[in-house]
């Protein structure tokens, strides 16, 4: 069913929302340490595929395996799997009633059962990692969008996940803040983190991706290295999409 070096296996994934079929049979395999970037027009099902990878959406048909564990199996402890799969959202989703430090420690303490001291130590380490240790005692609303998103990344990293998922992490940011977030993500990619990223940032895809997946209308149209996909797309729909976003 899966090879041991495929840490993520998506097998024949279909997802309906009511009568609308958002994902129409997607297969995807991600190796350990690989950075896979999913691009495509809005409504192409990219985010839905990503959200199925940590079971925030439940597939209508098909299966997802994380490190060999079948997510849709009733016996699977989904919370255990999710602790290994970090997720960063478009809207950051920091907890507004908690300080930055508490945001980064709460799941460590509750899920990883770490002591307060240990959780805080790891939290500070991750806040340094994303470059804002000085904001530990601030509340989320006191931070810029870029800073909030970096805290969200630190919050996910503090769980020591095996995989990081990014769902359009820069789409809600002002242009001048996009780079600070992408820089952190690029750093993670270089450190060997397994990443699946849904994004419209083609420059980032070029710099960070091992493979780029192009999706359209709920299907994977084309998978290739960034150089191949951007310089020599094989499908008409890929060419059309790229000409629209790289047209200048």
Partner 1 sequence: MSTTETKRGKDTANDAVREFPWWLLAVIAFLVVMAVVIVTQPDFNRAFMFIKGNPGSLEDLGRGGFWAFIGQGITITIAITLIAFALALLFGLLAGLGRINRHFVPRNIAIFYIEFVRGVPTLVLIFTVAYVLVPGLAGLLGIPTGSINSAVRAIVALAVIYGAFLAEIFRAGIESIPRGQMEAARSLGMTYGQAMRHIILPQAIRNTLPALGNDFIAMLKDSSLVSVLAVRDITQQARLYAGSTFRFNESYLVLTFLYLSMTLALSLLLRVLERRLGKNV
Which parts of this chain interact with partner 1 (CB under 8 A)?
Answer: 54, 56, 79-87, 89, 91, 93-97, 106-107, 110-111, 152, 155-156, 159
- CA atoms of 69 and 174, how far apart (whole Å): 38
Q: Residue 87 Cβ, how far from partner 1 at the closest point, in Å?
A: 4
Name which of 66 and 202 has its Cβ closer to partner 1: 66
Query: Whose Cβ is closer to partner 1: residue 89's or residue 241's?
Result: 89
Q: In the complex, what is the shortest distance from the CB of residue 93 to partner 1, in angstroms, rounded to a whole number?
A: 4
Count of alpha carbons within 13 angstroms of residue 112, beta-carbon side: 23
154 contacts 126 by C-beta, under 8 angstroms: yes
Q: In terms of C-beta density within 10 A (0-12 exposed, 13-18 middle, 19 or more buried), how is residue 226 classed?
A: buried
**Closer residue to partner 1 (CB): 162 or 211:** 162
Q: What angle do CA 67, 50, 142 make, to 5 degrees?
A: 110
Smallest separation, CB 221 to partner 1 (Å)? 28
Q: Least distance (Å) from partner 1 to the CB of residue 81?
A: 8
User: Considering beta carbons, is residue 79 or 234 the nearer one to partner 1?
Assistant: 79
The nearest distance, CB 66 to partner 1, in angstroms, is: 12
The SS3 of residue 177 is helix
Residue 191: Cβ within 10 Å count:
9
| Closer to partner 1 by Cβ: residue 69 or 83 | 83
């Amino acid at each position: 069913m899966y090879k041991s070096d495929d840490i993520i296996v998506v097998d024949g994934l279909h997802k309906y929302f009511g009568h609308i079929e958002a994902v129409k049979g997607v297969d995807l395999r991600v190796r350990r340490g690989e950075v896979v970037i999913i691009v495509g027009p809005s409504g192409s099902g990219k985010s839905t595929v990503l959200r199925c990878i940590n079971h925030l959406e439940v597939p209508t048909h098909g299966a997802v395996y994380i490190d060999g564990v079948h997510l849709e199996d009733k016996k699977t402890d989904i919370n255990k799997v999710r602790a290994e799969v970090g997720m960063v959202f478009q809207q950051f989703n920091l907890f507004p009633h908690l300080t930055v430090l508490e945001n980064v420690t709460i799941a460590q303490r509750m899920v990883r059962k770490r002591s307060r001291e240990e959780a805080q130590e790891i939290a500070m380490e991750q806040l340094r990692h994303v470059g804002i240790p000085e904001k530990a005692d601030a509340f989320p609303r006191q931070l810029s969008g870029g800073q909030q998103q970096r805290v969200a990344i630190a919050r996910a990293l503090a769980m020591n996940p095996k995989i990081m998922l990014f769902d359009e992490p820069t789409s809600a940011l002002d242009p001048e803040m996009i780079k600070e977030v992408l820089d952190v993500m690029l750093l993670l990619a270089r450190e060997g983190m397994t990443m699946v990223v849904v994004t419209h940032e083609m420059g980032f895809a070029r710099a960070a991706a091992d493979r780029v997946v192009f999706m359209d209308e709920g299907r994977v149209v084309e998978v290739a290295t960034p150089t191949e996909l951007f310089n020599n797309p094989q499908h008409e729909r890929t060419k059309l999409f790229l000409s629209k976003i790289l047209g200048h």
